[in-house]
Amino acid sequence: MWDQRCKIALSGVGFSKVTRSAEIPLAAHALEAVKGAVEDSGLQMSDIDGLATYPELPATGHAMVDGVTIVSVNCMMAMLKLPNLQWHVQVETVNIGGAVQQAVNALLAGVCNYAVVWRAMHNPKGTYQNLPGTHAHGATQFTAPYGFGGPGQGMAVAYTRWLETHNRSREKMATLAVTQRKHTQMNPHAYFYGQPLTREDYLNSRMVAYPFCLYDCDIPVQGAVAVVLTTADRARDLKPRPAYLAGYGQRLKFEVTGRIGSLSSYMEGGRSSSSLTWERSGFSPKDVDVAQVYDGFSASVIYGLESYGFCKEGEALDFIQDGRIELDGDLPLNTFGGSLGTGRIHGLWHIIEGALQASGRAGERQVKDVNVSFVGASAPIVTGTTFIFVREPY
Amino acid sequence: MSDWSQVTRPIPVPNEWTKPFWDAAKRGVLALQRCQACGHFQHPPYATCVNCMAIDLAFEPVRGQGTIYTYTIMYHAGDRRFAPAVPYASIIVELDDAPGALLAGNLMEAPYTEAKVGRRVEVIFEPLNDDITLPQFRLASA
């Protein structure tokens, strides 16, 4: 077990308004979320001495404009003018979960005391994957000429491989989409709050990239979420009940850029990340009371549940049936609605929900008697990170 | 059957790693990068052998027979220039001669509904211009 377990806690959380298109500059959304998280902790801006983010926009073919399409650490420093800032970082290889882990490391190292991590996401005007270049450079020279563009198809081919090698039917995924949308109705910050989804809606929706239909894909939105992380001792003196970090892990495998279609790379990424988390925390999948598993595309949940060890390979679509992932089921899943419910903000919202469930702060959607709360914060293949939060330090 | 006649495909731009692949394709030959130390085939080409860390790599011809490893049917053209062809099958092929090296392609000369994991395919060549010829796949003749 990790000797640093439960020494860091997630304290305050903050949310911006989530809109379909960009009505105001993204920096304003990020600022709203960060101010919300600091206020939720009962802190002042002058207390904040660490900053971390992952600013990437996962759309292609759009200009990166700091403050408008991304919100970098520099942008946040310019807005907040923190008088006591001591540390900051912007990560690249492991998505927003990596930014949280770097903040944890900085807190453990004693180089800052109250770190803010945010994720701000822009929805560009026009086509999200703006691909039609006349020429295909780099890794795309082997994919773009065949009409492969954007992450959707890359994920879709792995899902087809999964469905046909395990002889399963995509119709069973309706349970995930419908259950998560049901959970979304208890999350007022979510994009699809107030808009339920039926099994028929899912089954009749248009195909995007088979086997993905419209409701297998999270909707691009503009919005931001943020958290305050601090040491456990400090967290206990703050306003909200802390969620203690019991362990974390990151994916340790990477395949050559441009290689697509490999289901095994999802599985290896998820196994490497989660095995560290299980080992460091001392828990195993059977100990988990509630789970958040990244769902930018629905099939990521399938790879997550299997590679993290919640069920066997090939069984995830069966595993999620019969009420198991409902709030009162054996493994309540994506209880805030997931990205399919909130809109595409990436994995920090999964981390936030994992912490809220552990600290008993999830309100109407609170799962009963949670102690061990698991988070898989991004697709295991490229950027996977995993976390466990607990209610009681041990 | 998907109508490819109105589709203008992005033209691959070879670089120092990939030029031998495109030179061979222009001659109607499928050639993949192979590690001269351990015999591992890899695609896309890379700087080193990702199997054994050797740096002695060369392109070797492979036979164009393989199976559909996986596929997707595109209904929504992310690249608008592919819109005339939707729905179409983008496939990933594992060649008999190069297990583990996965090649992208389209399923040509057949309805997109014929794409299934495990189905036998063979390479064909589609010239895009004077310099670039694209390896493609069709169902294998029985």
pLDDT tens sequence across B4-56: 999 999 999 999 999 999 999 999 999 999 999 999 999 999 999 999 999 99
Please check whether residue A209 lies inside any domain of the structure: no
Where residue A130 falls among pLDDT bands split at 50, 70, 90? confident
| Virtual torsion, Cα B124, B127, B131, B134, nearest 10 deg | -40
**pTM (predicted TM-score):** 0.96
Query: Does B9 sit within 8 Å of A207, measured CB to CB?
Result: no
**A115 domain-assigned:** yes
Q: Given an 8 Å threshold on Cβ–Cβ distance, is A146 in contact with B69?
A: no
The alpha carbon of residue B104 is apart from the nearest alpha carbon of chain A, in Å, by 6
Contact B104 A132 (CB under 8 A): no
- A254 inside 8 A of chain B by CB: no
Residues of A within 8 A of B84 (CB-CB) are none
Residue A321 forms part of a structural domain: yes
**B48 within some domain:** yes
- Nearest CB neighbour to A136, from listed B10, B73, B92: B10
Does a structural domain hold residue B107? yes
Q: Is the peptide bond before B87 cis (omega within 30 degrees of 0)?
A: yes
Contact A147 B118 (CB under 8 A): no
CA–CA separation, B35 and B55 (whole Å): 8
Asked, for residue A164, whether it belongs to a domain, the answer is: no
Please indicate, yes or no, if residue A107 is contained in any of the structural domains.
yes
Q: Residue A112 sits in which domain range?
A: 8-125+219-390
Q: Which residue has the higher pLDDT, A252 or A365?
A: A365
A219 shares contact with chain B (CB less than 8 Å):
no
Four-point Cα dihedral A69, A71, A74, A76, nearest 10: 140
Q: Could you give the angle at the alpha carbon of A260 between the alpha carbons of A259 and A262, nearest 5°?
A: 105
The answer to whether residue B5 sits within a structural domain is no
A196 within a domain of the structure (yes/no): no
Question: Looking at the predicted structure, is the pLDDT value of residue A57 above 80?
Answer: yes
Q: How many domains does chain B have?
A: 1
Would residue A180 count as lying in a domain? Answer: no
> What is the number of domains present in chain A?
1
Domain contains A130: no
Is B130 domain-assigned?
A: yes
What pLDDT does residue A92 have? 84
A265 pLDDT above the threshold of 90? no
> What is the nearest CA distance from B142 to chain A, expressed in angstroms?
23
**The CATH number of the domain where A228 resides is what?**
3.40.47.10
- Domain membership of residue B88 as a residue range: 19-139
Nearest Cα residue in chain B from A60: B78
Of A131, A165, A210, the CB nearest to B78: A131
Q: How far is B63 from chain A (nearest CA, A)?
A: 18
